[in-house]
Chain A
Amino acid sequence: MSSRARLTLGQRGSRTRTASRPRAAGKVGDRVLFGLCALAGLLVVLTLADVIYQLANNASPAIHRFGLGFLVHTTWKPNFSIEGAGALIYGTAVSSLLALVLATPLGIAIGLYLSMMSPRRVRGVVGPLVEMLAAVPSIIYGFWGLVVLVPFIYHLEPGLHSALGFIPLFGPPSTTGISLFTAGIVLTVMILPIISALSRDLFLTIPAELKDGAEALGATRWEVIRGIILPSTASGVGAAVVLGLGRALGEAIAVSFVIGDVTQIHKSLFEAASTVPAEIATQFPSPVNPMQTAAMFYAGLVLVVIAMLTSLAARMIAGRFDVSAAMMGKVV
């Protein structure tokens, strides 16, 4: 504290603030704070760039060896030869798509229920419970999926095959229940809370007066939803779905438990398969040779580029909605 500082009030003098010397020191403090904050922000952006760099760097032997054909060729037998991650990419795409097809209507329906069809007390309980689904760690979904879900689906698959077997997707049931289908189901459970919580929040942003106006015209609840609420929030819900897709694409542990480790493309969902993240999880800790490691980095590079593109797409689709995957259950 400067000894020159004197607090005078009223008309006695013109000095009604502390002396200027602390202000100069304050300027430094301000600049330091700004510098720290800006550095933090810069660090975030640089980290993203470094992720790409590190992956590309470690993948370069594989990139040079396989080129872009890596994305298409499907031979992935590390002990014999690797030509490409096509089978893995196929498995990733199909399992994620299955999860999307199931979780999107369910998630939107739950979002509608939580925002428009449930009494206040119920939504205060059911809402957080649905969000808790996202809090369960993926290893528990994987382990539980292996022990409980896999036998259950093992019993389900024959029925599905006999009912829908004319579609090649639903081929002969697997011998153990470990299959692409099971992975899709696990992913559905994992991305459902994302879509439902974000949808619910979006639906709640519609002002009450708009709903009142619609209801005063003799419209049923569903008509209000269909005619007013869904069209107004379509872009936000779209972004939420894309975010769910991104989550499904990247899930490694839970999928690795229930999908088997078969790097081959089959038409049937009931066959074992593999995905890019699951394969990395399974094989990275114990590689057969350095080229396999490089190939996994290459696959990881492809994966992260796709993931970043989905994040970008989600933000672009969201438009005026601020849809972010930071669904921590709202800190405030």
Chain B
Amino acid sequence: MTDWDRDSRTASQIIRGEQPAGRVRLRTEPVLPVIRPEVNGSATESRPAVFDIRDMAVYYGSKRALVGTSLKIYRHLVTAVIGPSGCGKSTFIRSLNRMNDSIPGFRLEGNVLYHGHDVYGGRANRVEVRRRIGMVFQKPNPFPKSIYDNVAWAARNLGMKRQLDERVEEALRQAALWEEVKDRLKDSALGLSGGQQQRLCIARAIAIEPDVLLLDEPASALDPVSTAAIEALMHNLKSRFTIVIVTHNMQQAARVADRTAFFSLDSTGADRTGTLIEYGDTETIFRGAKDPRTRDYVAGRFG
């Protein structure tokens, strides 16, 4: 345990996980910042599961990218997916709302059950899946339209014509962007900064009120201030949506997530395949992980 009285590190050093000067740490636990989301660990299991993923494996042609993944994602929680690069995190999250369908050679085995329904089932309509399970991507990708039209576009498609202005405003407020753009809604979205564009992408995703919001490394292309802003959003949004966030920054996961899934590369087979190593409450993953590989990763020993 850290002796906070005698620790002379600055807050950012703590967040970055730097060791205190003059002390040799032998144990593997990471140093956590003080701010943490609340979670009632024992109640998690009794929450409704939004996703029930059973033995999911993903192939691109003959190459196996992801193997043997089974986990449940719970309602109104932020679930983080962490792991070293190339371990299939993106593949995993994109498979939840069928965004991998257009990739040539993509094949999924196992089941992805969303509220009990197979997302890849014969009767599942792909557009409907994406309507319920929205996504924000790593690189901000605003449409070459005005700020207002970016947020309103999908809502118009869905027939949400009444109170469209209010809907746009509320979405921008929820994404913490309203104050910055309220006077220039008709301006092109491409004139915004990177962080603003990403918040715009979040706004347009929540404007249509999906059930789940998937975020694929939403802050990795952004500066620290924008990153902090987006992390603050997670806490607000999770009361209304279920959130799954992929991040390569494990401190970020520690800051925002209630549950964390750790993926890594399984090098026991012939080629390296991504696989789920461990999944549990964030507190457990970061403080007392069961698998040694998890402990190694969160201690910064690799990745």
Contacts and interface: CB of A to CB of B under 8 A. Distances in A.
B142 to A, nearest CB: 8
A217 B144 contact: no
B67 interface: no
A219 B141 contact: no
Contact of A212 (B137, B144, B145, B158): B137
Interface string A118-132: 001000000000000
B137 A217 contact: no
A219 B97 contact: no
Among the interface residues A213, A219, A228, which one has the most CB atoms of the partner chain B within 10 A? A213
A216 B130 contact: yes
A213 B104 contact: no
Contacts of A50: none
B131 to A, nearest CB: 3
A215 B214 CA distance: 14
Interface residues of A, number: 18
Given A219-B157, A227-B157, A213 B130 contact: no
B166 interface: no
Given A223-B157, A227-B157, A216 B99 contact: yes
A209 B134 contact: no
Interface in A43-95: none
Contacts of B134: 216-218
B135 interface: yes
B127 A212 contact: no
B15 interface: no
Give the contact-size bracket for chain B. 20 to 34
A213 to B, nearest CB: 4
Interface in B202-226: 204-205, 208, 210
B144 A220 contact: no
Interface string A228-244: 10011000000000000
Nearest to A221: B127
A92 to B, nearest CB: 38
A309 interface: no
Nearest to B103: A208
Contacts of A220: 127, 157
B5 interface: no
A217 B139 contact: no
Nearest to B145: A231
B154 interface: yes
Given A120-B104, A218-B154, A212 B204 contact: no
B130 A218 contact: yes
Contacts of B136: 216
Nearest to A209: B141
Interface in A217-271: 217-220, 223, 227-228, 231-232
A214 B143 contact: yes
Given A120-B104, A220-B127, A232-B144, A209 B154 contact: no
A210 B143 contact: yes
Nearest to A224: B157
A215 B143 contact: no
B153 interface: yes
Contacts of B97: 216
B153 A217 contact: yes
B145 to A, nearest CB: 8
Contacts of B145: 231
Interface in A177-220: 207, 209-210, 212-220
B201 interface: yes
Contacts of A228: 143
Contacts of B132: 218
A231 B145 CA distance: 9
Interface of A: 120, 207, 209-210, 212-220, 223, 227-228, 231-232
5 contacts: A214-B143, A216-B99, A218-B157, A218-B208, A219-B127
Interface of B: 97, 99, 104, 127-128, 130-132, 134-137, 139, 141-145, 153-154, 157-158, 201, 204-205, 208, 210
10 shortest A-B CB distances, which residue pairs?
A218-B131, A217-B154, A216-B135, A213-B141, A209-B141, A218-B130, A223-B157, A219-B157, A220-B127, A210-B141
